[in-house]
Structure 1
Amino acid sequence: MKQIIIENLKMGNTLSELNYYITLIPKPNEYELGINYKIIDSGSSISFGNIERDFAEFLLKKINARLEEYNKRPLKFNDKESFQDNNKIEQNISELELEEFQKQQCYNLVVNENKCIISAKESQGIFYGVQTLIQLIDITDEKKLYLPEIEIFDYPILEIRGISDDITRGQVPTVDNVKRLIQLLSHFKMNFYFIGYETEFLENEKHPLITKGKAYLTKEEVKELEKYAKKHFIEFVPFFQVLGHYDNILALEKYMDLGEFPGAMCLNIKDDEVYDFLEDIIKNVSKTFDSDYIHVGGDESWDFGKYKSKEIVEKKGKGRAYLDHYKWVYNRIKKYNKKQMFLYHDIVVHEKEFLEDFPKDVIMFFWKYFTSWKFKYRKAKKLKKYGFPVVVSPTIYNWSRHYPDFKWAEGNILSIYRFAKNNNLKGGITSQWGDYGHEDLRVNHYYGYILSAGALWSNIDRKYFKKAYSHQYFGCKLGETKIIEVLETLCSINDHFSKLPPKFFVRFWEHPFLRRNPKIKLKKYQKVEKKANETLDLLKEARYQVNRHKSDLDYIDFATKLAKFIAIKFKSSYNIGKTLLGSNVLENDSIRNGMIKLLKTLKKTINNLKKIYENLWLRCAKRDGLNRLLEKYDILNFYYQKKLDEITREINWRNPNHPAKWITYPNKAPFQQPRYYRKTFEIKDLGSINECYLQAIASHYLKIYFNEEYLGYVITRNSLSYVMMEKQVRVFEISDHLKEGRNVIAIESCNYISQHEGINIYLEIFKNNNIREIILSDESWKTMINSAKNWKDIDFSDHSWENAKSLGKSPKFNGRIIRPYLKDGYKSTTTYLFAIRGMIESFLPSFLKPFIGLAMKLLNIE
Structure 2
Amino acid sequence: MTDPPESIGVDELLADVRRIRGWAWRAGKSGRTAQTIVIRPRGPFGAGIPLLEEQGYELRVEADSIIVAAPTATGRFYGVQTLRQILRGSLANSIPCVAIRDWPSLAWRGASDDISRGQASTLADFRATLEHLGFYKMNLYCLYIEDMARFWSAPEVGADRGALTPSELRTIVNEARRRHITVMPMFQTLGHQERLLARPDFGRYAEQQRPDGFNAWVQRALWTLLPAAAQACGVKDPNEEAAPPTCFSPVLPETRARVTELLDEIAAATPSPFLHLGGDEPSDVGNGTSRAAVARRGFGAVYADYLCALAKHVQEVQRRQPVIFGDVLLKDPQAMSAMPKSVAVVDWHYDPSDSGASLERLKEAGFKTVFASPGLWNWYAIYPDYSRAFPNIAHLGRAAKTSGASGLVVASWGDGGAESLHRANWAGYAYAAECTWTAIPPTSFLSRFGSSEYGSRSPALARAEHLVGWQTFSFGPSQRVFHWEPRVRTHTAPWLERMALLERDMTEARRLIADALPTVRFGQARLDVLDHTAARFQYAARRELVMEDLARGSASEGARLSPAEQRLRITSIIALRDSSLNLVDRYEELWRRDNRYPMLDPLLARLRKQTTALDMLLRQARTGTLVPEPPRTAASTPIQVSRTDARPTVAR
Give TM class, smaller chain. 0.7 to 0.9
Other-structure match for 1:623: 597
* Contact 1:302/1:843 (<8 A) preserved: no
Alignment of 1:678-757 (within 5 A): none
State which of 445, 464, 474 in structure 2 corresponds to 1:486: 464
CA distance in 1, matches of 2:478, 2:28: 56
Report the CA distance shift for 1:583/1:248 in structure 2 as closer, same or farther (over 3 A).
Answer: farther
Other-structure match for 1:564: 538
Aligned length: 610
- State the Cα deviation string for residues 830-857 of structure 1 (Å, max 9, x = none): x998xx79964x6779xxxxxxxxx9xx
CA distance in 2, matches of 1:159, 1:596: 60
Q: Does the alignment pair 1:161 with 2:109?
A: yes
More strand by share: 1
Report deviation, 1:271: 2.8
- State the Cα deviation string for residues 525-573 of structure 1 (Å, max 9, x = none): 1121111112122222222443322332211111111011101111222
Other-structure match for 2:454: 474
State which of 280, 287, 295 in structure 1 corresponds to 2:268: 287
Report deviation, 1:137: 3.4
* Contact 1:516/1:581 (<8 A) preserved: no
Other-structure match for 1:265: 246
Report deviation, 1:426: 0.5
Report deviation, 1:156: 1.6
State which of 442, 445, 462 in structure 2 corresponds to 1:462: 442
Report sequence identity in percent.
22
Other-structure match for 2:614: 640
* Contact 2:29/2:40 (<8 A) preserved: no
CA distance in 1, matches of 2:482, 2:81: 41
Report deviation, 1:80: 7.3
Other-structure match for 1:200: 147
Does the residue aligned with 2:586 lie in a helix, a strand or coil?
A: helix
Match for 2:530: what amino acid? I
Unaligned runs of 5+ in 2: 209-241
Other-structure match for 2:516: 542
CA distance in 2, matches of 1:838, 1:623: 24
Other-structure match for 1:60: 10
Alignment of 1:766-777 (within 5 A): none
Does the residue aligned with 1:163 lie in a helix, a strand or coil?
A: strand
* Contact 1:292/1:337 (<8 A) preserved: no
Does the residue aligned with 2:119 lie in a helix, a strand or coil?
A: coil
Other-structure match for 1:106: 56
CA RMSD of aligned residues (A): 3.3
Alignment of 1:783-798 (within 5 A): none
CA distance in 2, matches of 1:623, 1:323: 39
CA distance in 1, matches of 2:39, 2:175: 33
TM-score (norm 2): 0.86
- State the Cα deviation string for residues 723-781 of structure 1 (Å, max 9, x = none): xxxxxxxxxxxxxxxxxxxxxxxxxxxxxxxxxxxxxxxxxxxxxxxxxxxxxxxxxxx
Other-structure match for 1:387: 366
CA distance in 2, matches of 1:140, 1:504: 36
CA distance in 2, matches of 1:837, 1:98: 41
* Contact 1:366/1:392 (<8 A) preserved: yes
Report deviation, 1:370: 2.1
Report deviation, 1:171: 0.7
Match for 1:483: what amino acid? L
* Contact 1:260/1:267 (<8 A) preserved: yes
Match for 1:172: what amino acid? A
Q: Does the alignment pair 1:300 with 2:300?
A: no
Q: Does the alignment pair 1:527 with 2:501?
A: yes
Other-structure match for 1:339: 320
* Contact 2:118/2:600 (<8 A) preserved: yes
Other-structure match for 1:213: 160
* Contact 2:28/2:38 (<8 A) preserved: no
Report deviation, 1:266: 1.8
Other-structure match for 2:121: 173
> Which structure has the larger Rg?
1
* Contact 1:406/1:491 (<8 A) preserved: yes
Report deviation, 1:294: 1.2
- State the Cα deviation string for residues 302-359 of structure 1 (Å, max 9, x = none): 2211233111111111121111010121123235414212211111222223222322
* Contact 1:586/1:647 (<8 A) preserved: no
Report deviation, 1:474: 1.7
Other-structure match for 1:310: 291
Report deviation, 1:644: 2.6
CA distance in 2, matches of 1:104, 1:120: 9
Other-structure match for 1:116: 66
Report deviation, 1:209: 4.3
Q: Does the alignment pair 1:189 with 2:137?
A: yes
Report the CA distance shift for 1:337/1:634 in structure 2 as closer, same or farther (over 3 A).
Answer: same
* Contact 2:550/2:569 (<8 A) preserved: yes
Match for 2:75: what amino acid? G
* Contact 2:141/2:182 (<8 A) preserved: yes
Match for 1:567: what amino acid? A
Other-structure match for 1:611: 585
Other-structure match for 2:223: none
CA distance in 2, matches of 1:351, 1:626: 39
Q: Does the alignment pair 1:129 with 2:79?
A: yes
Report deviation, 1:119: 2.1
Match for 1:122: what amino acid? T
Report the CA distance shift for 1:541/1:106 in structure 2 as closer, same or farther (over 3 A).
Answer: same
* Contact 2:379/2:643 (<8 A) preserved: no
Report the CA distance shift for 1:637/1:171 in structure 2 as closer, same or farther (over 3 A).
Answer: same
Does the residue aligned with 1:364 lie in a helix, a strand or coil?
A: strand
CA distance in 2, matches of 1:434, 1:496: 19
Does the residue aligned with 1:473 lie in a helix, a strand or coil?
A: helix
Unaligned runs of 5+ in 1: 1-46, 657-810, 817-830, 846-854
Report deviation, 1:276: 3.3
CA distance in 1, matches of 2:174, 2:427: 26
Other-structure match for 1:366: 347
Q: Does the alignment pair 1:228 with 2:175?
A: yes
Structure of greater relative contact order (alpha carbons < 8 Å, 6+ residues apart): 2
CA distance in 2, matches of 1:139, 1:423: 34
CA distance in 2, matches of 1:84, 1:527: 51
Does the residue aligned with 1:512 lie in a helix, a strand or coil?
A: coil
Please identify, of 118-127 and 168-177, the stretch whose mean Cα deviation from structure 2 is larger. 118-127
CA distance in 1, matches of 2:168, 2:120: 12
Q: Does the alignment pair 1:241 with 2:188?
A: yes
Report deviation, 1:402: 3.1
CA distance in 1, matches of 2:40, 2:418: 50
Report deviation, 1:503: 2.4
Does the residue aligned with 2:160 lie in a helix, a strand or coil?
A: coil
CA distance in 2, matches of 1:113, 1:536: 40
* Contact 1:327/1:358 (<8 A) preserved: yes
Report the CA distance shift for 1:571/1:380 in structure 2 as closer, same or farther (over 3 A).
Answer: same
State which of 386, 404, 420 in structure 1 corresponds to 2:384: 404
More helix by share: 2
Q: Does the alignment pair 1:446 with 2:426?
A: yes
Does the residue aligned with 2:185 lie in a helix, a strand or coil?
A: strand
